[in-house]
Amino acid sequence: MKIIAVADYQEMSEKAAQYVIERVKNNPSIHLGLATGGTPKGLYQQLINDHQTNFTSYIKVTTFNLDEYVGLAPINPASYHYYMEEQLFQHVDINRRNTFIPNGVAENLKQECQRYDEKVLLEGGIDLQILGIGENGHIGFNEPGTPFGSTTHVVSLTESTLRANAKYFSSEKDIPTHAITMGIATIMKSKEILLLASGLSKRPAMKRLLECAIEESFPASILRQHPQVTIIADRDALPKSFQSSVTEHSRV
Ligand code: GLP
């Protein structure tokens, strides 16, 4: 794992954008795995700025999102479909036919999960997966205890995740209790992973990711077994021993 420590959220977003833009320029047909949540918003803003000033094109790019809430239609402002439109898609030249997000209002959710996995496979997999991390170590919506071999599936969200996401909903009763998420095995098949973390609330999770055992009770720990992971995190999110600028961390 390569760990790049930066000063703050702004620098994390800028560094992450440089990273993604370089990959897009090297491979204009790249398959990007996209995350939602607060963490990548700054990255997406930087991609938009760059698209507007340097004209980096997304016309041939394909994207797969990690997850979506069950029961939220794309027109719901709290859905991840809506988030992606607002935060990125409508501001760049991406072709909507090349953007994929699990359908949280599918009639048959199990079939939808299977269809999503098949789509990822059919398109040839993910070249670069962008990830955030939950305070309990979730990646996508893979909550603690999710089998490392899991493919796309429906999850029941934990108390910790519901609490962390409450700020995006106007009332408690509107917070969805279930989501569809790309599985851990699906994420691990990505050729490359870029994990972003910012803020003190993420430090305990980052400490555990970097220092503790690889176990299903802490989903992100599996990333230590991936051959190509880069972490860009601000100093608040990193434990003391990883706060110097660039660290190579042994894989296991
Ligand atoms: C959310 C999303 C994840 C995200 C994580 C952290 O629940 N499903 O994809 O990475 O939790 O969110 P945030 O970046 O807002 O801290």
Q: Give the tens place of pLDDT for each residue, 112-144.
A: 999 999 999 999 999 999 999 999 999 999 999
165 Cα nearest atom in ligand 1: 7
Query: What is the structure's pLDDT at 244?
Result: 80
Query: What is the structure's pLDDT at 89?
Result: 98
Say which residue, 28 or 251, is predicted with more confidence. Answer: 28
User: 132: CA distance to ligand 1 center in Å?
Assistant: 6
Strands 192-197 and 99-100: unpaired
pLDDT at 4 over 60: yes
| Mean pLDDT of all residues belonging to the chain | 95
Rounded CA-CA distance 36/67 in Å is: 8
Strands 153-156 and 99-100: unpaired
Ordered DSSP codes for the chain: -EEEEESSHHHHHHHHHHHHHHHHHH-TT-EEEE--SSTTHHHHHHHHHHHHHH----TT-EEEESEEETT--TTSTTSHHHHHHHHTGGGS---GGGEE---TT-SSHHHHHHHHHHHHHHTT--SEEEE---TTS-BTTB-TT--TT--SEEEEPPHHHHHHHGGGSSSGGGS-SEEEE--HHHHHTSSEEEEEE-SGGGHHHHHHHHHS---TTSGGGGGGG-SSEEEEEEGGGS-GGG-SSEEE----
Query: Given ligand 1 and candidates 66, 136, 138, 194, which is best to mutate, with the most ligand atoms within 8 Å of its CB?
Result: 138
Neighbouring C-alpha atoms within 13 Å toward the C-beta of 11: 12
User: 49: CA distance to ligand 1 center in Å?
Assistant: 23
Longest dimension (CA), the chain: 49
pLDDT band at 160 (very low <50, low <70, confident <90, very high): confident
Task: Report, as residue numbers or ranges, the catalytic residues.
Answer: 67, 136, 138, 143
pLDDT at 245 over 90: no
Rounded CA-CA distance 17/46 in Å is: 6
35 Cα nearest atom in ligand 1: 9
Q: Which amino acid is at 215?
A: E
Say which residue, 158 or 111, is predicted with more confidence. Answer: 111
Cβ of 188: how many Cβ atoms within 10 Å?
A: 16
Query: What is the structure's pLDDT at 60?
Result: 98
pLDDT band at 171 (very low <50, low <70, confident <90, very high): confident
Contact 215, 181 (CB under 8 A): no
* CA-closest residue to ligand 1 atom 6: 134
The pTM (predicted TM-score) of the whole model is: 0.95
pLDDT band at 250 (very low <50, low <70, confident <90, very high): low
Query: Given ligand 1 and candidates 9, 130, 133, 231, which is best to mutate, with the most ligand atoms within 8 Å of its CB?
Result: 133
Does ligand 1 lie within 6 Å of residue 141's CB atom? yes
Does ligand 1 lie within 6 Å of residue 94's CB atom? no
Q: Give the tens place of pLDDT for each residue, 193-244.
A: 999 999 999 999 999 999 989 999 999 999 999 999 999 999 999 999 888 8
Does ligand 1 lie within 6 Å of residue 33's CB atom? no
Give percent above pLDDT 90 in the chain: 88
User: 32: CA distance to ligand 1 center in Å?
Assistant: 17
User: 74: CA distance to ligand 1 center in Å?
Assistant: 18
Q: Give the tens place of pLDDT for each residue, 25-76.
A: 999 999 999 999 999 999 999 999 999 999 999 999 999 999 999 999 999 9
Contact 23, 55 (CB under 8 A): no
What's the N-to-C CA distance of the chain in angstroms? Answer: 9
